[in-house]
Structure 1
């Protein structure tokens, strides 16, 4: 997933044919030793190698594009942080063996020993100074559990930089199993996630129905809203073997980054789920959990063909209602930006559904001169989507009756 996302991320950043450089700092906050043996005894590369391989692949694909006019320089600095000295020594050897010795010598790759949370303020400032105009940096924080990335660190990232992104894993099932009335205050002090959980939520004698769902929902709301990020994904990673799901939270300041991450989830649908609904308001029925209060597995939205069809069905029903709520219409780009945090659908899926609704004459597309545009394949950012007035009364009455 990480490799595919990074490749698409770089391709998005260099979409303009005349561009000749991309400058970014990538911080791998829990980098590990760079090479592992899986349960089958096969070698598996760690995130630093994945990142470097993704840069290579992206450059090859960029230069292979038919409209590319000039070579492009990937000015990427990779900062690898780990508290384990032996892991960093192993990583240095792995990178050297794989041909990255010169990049280590030139400090294009740096290994930093220590806890990420302790180094985070200096790392954020380094990234900001390195790209003062674009403010572009990517923090990959595959933390050990759920309490190694304080909320204050996320706030510092998003308040300091213009275009940061964070990929954060959070072992939420493990946390809920661990928390108790005796230790939740210690969790709050360490993480800065304060007020999301109460002793009553955790006390077996007093907690009410849906207690796991309530805790997950409150934790998710705190992390996303108080991190300072403008856009986010709330999807789960589902290990083939393991003890519960964990969140892979993607936080950013740009809607397009969120859209690229959503596309990656659809690509890797056999490993990603979300326990909410399709359409434009996936939290309308509440944030569910993998296991309900009676220990039964819950149905999940699995980003597969069935999920794709249910998404399209929901979008076709919800888009006219959403646009009807804007009497003067809404520009296409604004509609996407307003909706994208609350749907598992990608921009292209929403656009396809809008085109179907336009074809059914429920809504119309207005150009910059105020005239109706007969779009068939693509909608421009400034095209205004407007409910067709001659059908408004009847359709709105039907919507109200259904509700």
Structure 2
């Protein structure tokens, strides 16, 4: 498959940005604002430090499908920081200013893209940032530069180990697993936002393409010879490939938490994975909230509840060429999630007769559910009210909890049958 690259020339026409890429940029902006708010919630905090690596930064500006100007990821990141700082001061009613000590490293293999980006940044008032090094432009392939970039991020934040890698690659084979492993094995609080054009890989499968993909990424064994040969493919072959690919990427990356969703283009049949990888459950929860916020752009092809991601994936067009029902992250999906959680959570808690702490329960479910922490907490409170589960305090006694759960509260299954809950679960 010929990979689509963008081209920039100073004074020339801007490249066209697809709707799905605008969606990815909107998600990035929304996530970063919420992420920064989470990082600086303490009123006594006067600064925080982070390194952001934009591994495929592009030339800074595009024209969207409506003919309007669309900013690229470097400006999305910079504008998100400005928005977050304003919100930090107003949301928390801060009297003391806070310093965002952020270094943005923009990487691209296209020299003309970086020249255009520099021109755009200068024109937008970021010239001083370019000169003082808080914004740096680096020419080269991310795969080859990754070790040095990771080393710089670690050296800059040796204690917190905080860094964000935005890896909006062109396709599916430009981010090797070795780079992800290095990120998550050497830093304490790294995060990666990775796009992966999974439908393109599957649609253009051939022995040659597969060999090149495995060599460049280090993801091996997810696709078999039977998957490539149309005569020997078994039923559900697309689902099998996607499930195996997802399992390998998340396991080999070394990330503790991961959130996978499809970005859904309005036209065509090419879905992208948007994978968020991190070492902290809170980062995962912020990203999950972002998906619900942008519900009209995300989709997943599985059922709601606690096991949504554990059975793999199915593409929007199934093996027989038929459209599949999708989990749309809308009001209907929210309601179906609530019903599924009301049914599944008591059974899951019953698997630990002695009880399980609230935080431990959420962390154990995080990687296999679209539900946010808030959604799970509200369901738990409903189950407590309906006497399906009970809450045990520090002294071992049953607590009457109505509005909020604490991390140290222990959840325990009550074996009494509740007709009231059964009635609630009826459609």
Report if the CA contact (8 A) 2:304-2:370 is conserved. Answer: yes
Question: Deviation string for 1:168-210 (max 9, x for gaps)?
Answer: 0000001101111343122111110011111111101111111
Kindly report which structure 2 residues correspond to 1:192-203, keeping only aligned pairs within 5 A, or say none: 192-203=218-229
Alignment match, 1:323: 349
Give RMSD over aligned pairs: 1.4
CA distance in 2, matches of 1:80, 1:185: 30
Report if the CA contact (8 A) 2:309-2:367 is conserved. Answer: no
CA distance in 2, matches of 1:318, 1:157: 35
Q: Bigger shift: 344-353 or 63-72?
A: 63-72
Report if the CA contact (8 A) 2:342-2:383 is conserved. Answer: yes
- 1:58 to 2:84 alignment: yes
Kindly report which structure 2 residues correspond to 1:61-210, keeping only aligned pairs within 5 A, or say none: 61-210=87-236
SS across alignment from 2:207: coil
SS across alignment from 1:244: coil
- 1:257 to 2:283 alignment: yes
Following superposition, the deviation at residue 384 of structure 1 comes to 0.4
Alignment match, 1:219: 245
Kindly report which structure 2 residues correspond to 1:4-43, keeping only aligned pairs within 5 A, or say none: 4-43=30-69
CA distance in 2, matches of 1:28, 1:210: 36
- 1:385 to 2:411 alignment: yes
Report if the CA contact (8 A) 1:234-1:249 is conserved. Answer: yes
Question: Deviation string for 1:283-318 (max 9, x for gaps)?
Answer: 465532211111111111010001000000000001
CA distance in 2, matches of 1:206, 1:65: 59
Following superposition, the deviation at residue 20 of structure 1 comes to 0.7
Report if the CA contact (8 A) 1:4-1:54 is conserved. Answer: yes
CA distance in 1, matches of 2:314, 2:267: 21
Return 5+ residue gaps in structure 1 as ranges: 399-403
Report if the CA contact (8 A) 1:275-1:289 is conserved. Answer: yes
SS across alignment from 2:144: helix
Alignment match, 2:274: 248
Alignment match, 1:401: none
Following superposition, the deviation at residue 34 of structure 1 comes to 0.5
- TM-score, structure 1 normalization: 0.95
CA distance in 2, matches of 1:286, 1:98: 44
SS across alignment from 1:57: helix
- 1:359 to 2:392 alignment: no
Following superposition, the deviation at residue 67 of structure 1 comes to 4.5
Report if the CA contact (8 A) 1:17-1:69 is conserved. Answer: no
